[in-house]
Amino acid sequence: MPRELRDVVFVNGVRTPFGKAGSIYAETRADDLVVHCIRELLRRHPELPPDRVDDVAIAATTQTGDQGLTIGRTAALLAGIPRSVPGFAIDRMCAGAMTAVTTTASGIAFGAYDVAIAGGVEHMGHHPMGQDIDPNPRIVAEKLVDQSALIMGSTAENLHDRFPGITRERADAFAALSQQRVQDAYEEDVIQESLVTVATRSSDLGWGLAVADEQPRPDTTVEALATLRTPFRPHGRVTAGNAAGLNDGATACLLAAEGVAAELGLPAAMRLVAFAFAGVDPELMGVGPIPATEKALAKAGLSIDDIGAFEINEAFAVQVLAFCDHFELAADDPRLNPYGGAIALGHPLASSGVRLMIHLARAFREHPDVRYGLTTLCIGLGMGGTVIWENPLFSSEGAQ
């Protein structure tokens, strides 16, 4: 029997403040970070009966310990969602939350779900990147990939090699801009509206509250960045200043069929248009957003000129600059990461995809003249992911 596909909307997204790995959340469980996000979504939307949620998809890159045990299900139970609502875990490394969104959104479009919660978590203090992994030795021994593919910072250095025009000076300038834009966004109360306050505990310091991201350094200057060491290669170009940090944090968002959202009185912040994932050489992981974006644009029947807002994850400055150069965007284009990005805010791996969506939804709200926007990120082991969204507030009046 033929099925009619339904439009899917992003209702709302929230996140914890992002902490430095093992710092403010050192004695907080990863699953509890997700629980805070799920509870906050339900608190903000009392018009949604919890039993109308059809599934809960939560991503984590390291699915063990407090990020294991099918975290989508356990987080749903801990959040107080009815036991009749199932949940599952998902992993696509840095695109975990993005994949949780596209997977559940596909189910909504198909008609299997009406409403879903999707998000991600990474507690890199409890689970350092690469902990307990056991790569098949044939991957390197048989030269399926270069050994540098397993070290994300090395892939960024490789990207600098591939595009020598992307100098360390350009990377540092972009990093300083990210820090400044985050500071401006905080001063304008842009970022705070999506944050969930988290109670923290320290055996030494006692109880506290996490109310803001820990990573930003608003006093960052290009001159100071130029003095930092290059840990991945002698005389390299990638530093702790022009790359995202190691972080702890969680995100979650509410998705619904557009008609169901209207029925329940749920707002529609964005409408899903198309998405795509693409593979690239693992040792050049950072170029992943380029083919993923080209693929998504083709599926949507759009061109890059139709996109009026860009949220690209700043895993490394060089990766963003490669995207900009390819699509002929200026690195300081006001449409690109207007509220800053992961270099300043942090990148808790699997959670970051929804953080990008939260920022895009805000940009749509501030710019009803913008019709289409995208969220995109590079993914470890040589992938990229892009989701194209439409602004429900779009008005052709005043649109350029």
Q: Can you spell out the DSSP letters for 56-113?
A: EEEE-SS-SGGG-S-HHHHHHHHHT--TTS-EEEE--GGGHHHHHHHHHHHHHHHTS-
Q: For residue 4, what pLDDT band results from cuts at 50, 70 and 90?
A: confident
d(CA 196, CA 17): 7
Least confident of 20-29, 112-121, 130-139, 313-322: 130-139
Predicted confidence band of residue 220 (pLDDT cuts 50, 70, 90)? very high
* Catalytic annotation present for 347: yes
Q: What pLDDT, in 10s, does the model give residues 151-184?
A: 999 999 999 999 999 999 999 999 999 999 999 9
Q: How many residues does the chain have?
A: 400
Which is the catalytic residue, given 37, 94, 253, 324?
94
- Provide the pLDDT confidence category of residue 400 given band limits of 50, 70 and 90: very low
Give the mean pLDDT of 284-292.
97
Structure tokens at 118: 């999707």
Q: How far is CA 135 from its chain centroid? A: 25
Q: In the chain, where are the structural domains located?
A: 144-191+273-389
**Residue 397: predicted pLDDT:** 56
Residue 308 has pLDDT above 50, yes or no: yes
Of 279, 283, 174, the closest CA to residue 232 belongs to: 283
Q: Spell out the SS3 assignment of 278-312.
A: EECCHHHHHHCHHHHHHHHHHHHCCCHHHEEEEEE
Q: What's the pLDDT score for residue 35?
A: 98
Q: Which of 36, 45, 160, 347 is catalytic?
A: 347
pLDDT digits (tens, 9 = 90+) for 122-162: 999 999 988 888 888 888 777 788 888 889 999 999 999 99
- Look at the domain 144-191+273-389 and name its fold: Peroxisomal Thiolase; Chain A, domain 1 (3.40.47)
Q: What does the block give as tokens for 263?
A: 């029925």
pLDDT at 138: 87
Q: Supply the pLDDT for residue 88.
A: 98
CA neighbor of 57 nearest in space, from 106, 130, 1: 106
Closest by Cα among 215, 128, 136, 223 to 173 = 223
Cβ neighbours of residue 38 closer than 8 Å, sequence gap 6 or more: 56, 75, 76, 79, 81, 117, 119, 252
As a whole number of Å, the CA-based R_g of the chain is 20
Q: List the structure tokens of 333.
A: 């284009």
Model pLDDT for residues 73-112, shown as the tens digit of each residue: 999 999 999 999 999 999 999 999 999 999 999 999 999 9
What pLDDT was estimated at residue 1? 66
Helix (H) or strand (E) holding 211: none
One-character DSSP codes across 163-177:
-TTS-HHHHHHHHHH
Residue 145, pLDDT score? 87
324 is catalytic: no
Report pLDDT digits (tens) over 350-399.
Answer: 999 999 999 999 999 999 999 999 999 999 999 999 999 999 999 765 45
| Residue 395 confidence (pLDDT) | 76
Average pLDDT, the chain: 95
Q: What is 213-280 written as a DSSP string?
A: -S---TT--HHHHTTS--TTSTT-S--SSSB---EEEEEEEEEEEHHHHHHHT---SEEEEEEEEEE-
Return all residues near 237 (Cβ < 8 A) that are at least 6 apart: 157, 160, 167, 168, 171, 230, 318
Phi, psi (degrees; rounded to nearest 5) at 268: -115, 110
Task: Tell me the pLDDT band of 259, cut-offs 50, 70 and 90.
Answer: very high
378 counts as catalytic: yes
Q: What is the DSSP letter of 119?
A: E
Give the span between the Cα atoms of 248 and 127, in whole angstroms. 10
| pLDDT score recorded for residue 204 | 83
Which class for 23: exposed (0-12), middle (13-18), buried (19 or more C-beta within 10 A)?
middle
Q: What is the mean pLDDT of residues 219-247?
A: 96
User: Which residue in 37, 253, 324, 378 is the catalytic one?
Assistant: 378
Q: Band of the pLDDT at 56, cuts 50, 70, 90? A: very high
| Whole-Å CA distances, 138 to 141, 142, 145, 196, 227 | 5, 5, 9, 44, 39
Structural tokens at position 152: 């994300």
What are the residues whose beta carbons fall under 8 Å from the beta carbon of 362, sequence distance 6 or more? 190, 193, 194, 339
Check whether 338 has a pLDDT greater than 70: yes
